[in-house]
Amino acid sequence: MIAINTEAILETLAFVATFLLLPPLLVGIIRKTKARFQNRIGAPLLQPYFDLMKLMSKGETISKHTSWIFRSTAAINVSLLIILAFLAPWTSLRPFNLGADLFLVIYLLALTRFFTVLSALDAGSAFGGFGASREVTLALLVEPAVILCLAAIGSVSQTSDLGVAFSFNNVSLINQPGLWFIAGCGLFLASLVELSRMPADDPTTHLELTMVHEAMILENSAANLALVEYSHFLKILILLGISSQCLLHAIPFFWHTSQLILALASILSIMILAASIAIIESVAVKLRWTKLPEFIAYSVAMSIFCVFIALSKNLN
């Protein structure tokens, strides 16, 4: 497991530091880039941290109609995403080799959704219901794409352990730039939907009738809201991290390079993906609800291509 040497300690430290610091920073990058596109200076990069701090010190208001589900969802989701961050291969640094099973990762994400949806229904407001209903619909369409992209990668490496499949030492997966690139694209498109970003949902709007994620967390406030926000930041980190790892694997330069460069590249590529989310949000519009299946279909098509590559790779 963890050998006690300086390298391992350094790796652990670097992992914990990125895992703690990067999530709010990513949102900062997205906001800053968007502001620049709109000819504004924008809030400082670290604004999400300040927002979280401020939320922590506020007084909380809870609807009297809610049950224990609403009160515990935020805490449960944050813990689930912390566990996921230690399991899922969102960066090349993996000091704790815990064995990230593909289906476990997907189902842990589904579990956070289960709680989010229930807490949205808990207060009995119309908006929470809307948001919840839309969330499950989107998840339904995206889920096959995500699982097929990852299963194709796993099938080529003949293991369902993502930690092994995503390791840069894995010989069977090197020389598959096509698979990795298409999987990366598919996963990125899927994460746009899962993270409630632009073509699927507008994270900045406060028109309750059109939003998905914001509608679900309408009743949360103060520390509870801070936890919800933080878990969303973590989700951004993990999903973008997985897509960026796929894209990094597609570049031959990274197949044989040092750990340090890889680690830096993974962090940088996550940031680049965050910036590209901001660019997409600046140039594209939110799609109509009825047009969304068309958008998600592209992600599913990518996953089908991945499956073909995986099947032809293992031709016997």
Partner 1 sequence: MILDTFEALAMVSAIFAILILGTTHLRTNLSFYSLHTMAIAAVTAWIANITHEDHLYLVAAGVFIIKSWGIPWYLNSVIKKINIGTDGGAFIAAPLSMHLGALMLGLSFMISQQIPGLIGEPDSRLGSTAAMSILFTGVLLMLTRRAAISQIVGFLVIENGIYLFAVTQTHGMPLMIEMGLLLEVLVAVMVAGLLLFNIKKSFEHIDVSQLTELKD
Partner 2 sequence: MINDPTTISAANLFTSASAIWLAGLVITAVGRERVKSKFLAFLMLAGALLTLGGAALSWNQSIEYNQLQYISFGLVPADSIVDSLSVPFLGLLGMLASAAAVASPCHVESLNSQGKKGHYWKLTFIFLIGLQQVLLAANGIAFLVFWEIMSLSSAGLVAADHIRHRAQRAAFAYLTATRISTAFITAAFLWMHQNTGSWSLSSWHFGTEQSIVAAGLLLIAVCTKAGVWPMHVWLPLAYPEPPGPTSAVFSGLVGNISIYLLMRMLLAGECHHLGIAYAAIALGTISALWGVLFALMERDLKKLLAYSTVENMGIILTAIGVAILAHCHNLDTIATLACAAALFHTLNHGLVKALLFLGAASVERAVHTRELSALGGLAKNMPWTMLCFFIGSLSICAMPPMNCFASKWLVYQTFFQLSFANAPILERAMSLAMVGILAFVGALSLACFTKAVGIAFLGRPRSNAAAKAKESTTSGPDGLILAQVILAIACVMIGTSVPIALDGLAPALRHLTHDQFVIGSTLFPIPQGQLALVGGILVSSIYLFVLGGRSGDVKSYITWDCGFGPLSTRAEETGSSFSHPIGRIFSQILQLKVTTEISGKDRRHFPESVRVETFMTPILETKLYRPIMGLFDWLSASLVRLQTGSIHIHLLYVFLTMLLLVFLGTNI
The contact mask relative to partner 1 for 71-110 (x = CB under 8 A, - = no) is ----------------------------------------
The region that residue 89 occupies, defined by phi over 0 for left and psi between -120 and 50 for alpha, beta otherwise, is beta
Span interacting with partner 2, options 10-18, 30-38, 57-65, 175-183, rule CB under 8 A: 57-65
CB 182 within 8 A of CB 305: yes
Instruction: Check residue 67 for interaction with partner 2 (CB under 8 A).
Output: yes
Site of tokens 């800053």:
32
Instruction: Check residue 315 for interaction with partner 1 (CB under 8 A).
Output: yes
Span interacting with partner 2, options 10-18, 26-34, 116-124, 173-181, rule CB under 8 A: 116-124
Instruction: Check residue 107 for interaction with partner 2 (CB under 8 A).
Output: yes
Shortest CA distance to 50 belongs to which of 275, 226, 228? Answer: 226
297 binds, among partner 2, partner 1, none (CB under 5 to 8 A by kind): partner 1
**Exactly one of 176, 224, 243, 266 binds partner 2 (CB under 8 A); which one?**
224
Least distance from C-beta 297 to partner 1, angstroms?
Answer: 3
The region that residue 12 occupies, defined by phi over 0 for left and psi between -120 and 50 for alpha, beta otherwise, is alpha
- In the three-class reduction of DSSP (H, G, I as helix; E, B as strand; rest coil), residue 101 is classed as strand
One-letter amino acid identity for 311? L
Least distance from C-beta 294 to partner 1, angstroms?
Answer: 5
79 binds, among partner 1, partner 2, none (CB under 5 to 8 A by kind): partner 2
Structure tokens at 116: 């989010």
Instruction: Check residue 148 for interaction with partner 2 (CB under 8 A).
Output: yes
Task: Measure Cα distances from 39 to 32, 34, 82, 198 in Å.
Answer: 10, 9, 36, 19
**Exactly one of 44, 50, 72, 178 binds partner 2 (CB under 8 A); which one?**
72
Structure tokens at 196: 């409630």
Question: Which residues within the stretch 172-211 sit at the binding site for partner 1 (CB under 8 A)?
Answer: 175, 177-178, 182
DSSP label at residue 17: H
- In the three-class reduction of DSSP (H, G, I as helix; E, B as strand; rest coil), residue 170 is classed as coil
Q: What is the DSSP string of 103-162?
A: HHHHHHHHHHHHHHHHHHHHT--HHHHHHHHHHHHHHHHHHHHHHHHHHHHHHHHT-SBH
The contact mask relative to partner 1 for 291-310 (x = CB under 8 A, - = no) is --xx-xxx-xx--xx--x--
Least distance from C-beta 206 to partner 1, angstroms?
Answer: 28
Please give the Cα distance from 109 to 129 (Å, whole number). Answer: 20
Least distance from C-beta 249 to partner 1, angstroms?
Answer: 15
Question: Which residues within the stretch 188-217 sit at the binding site for partner 2 (CB under 8 A)?
Answer: 208
Closer Cβ to partner 1, 44 or 293, answer by number: 293
Q: Which residues bind partner 1 (CB under 8 A)?
A: 175, 177-178, 182, 293-294, 296-298, 300-301, 304-305, 308, 311-313, 315
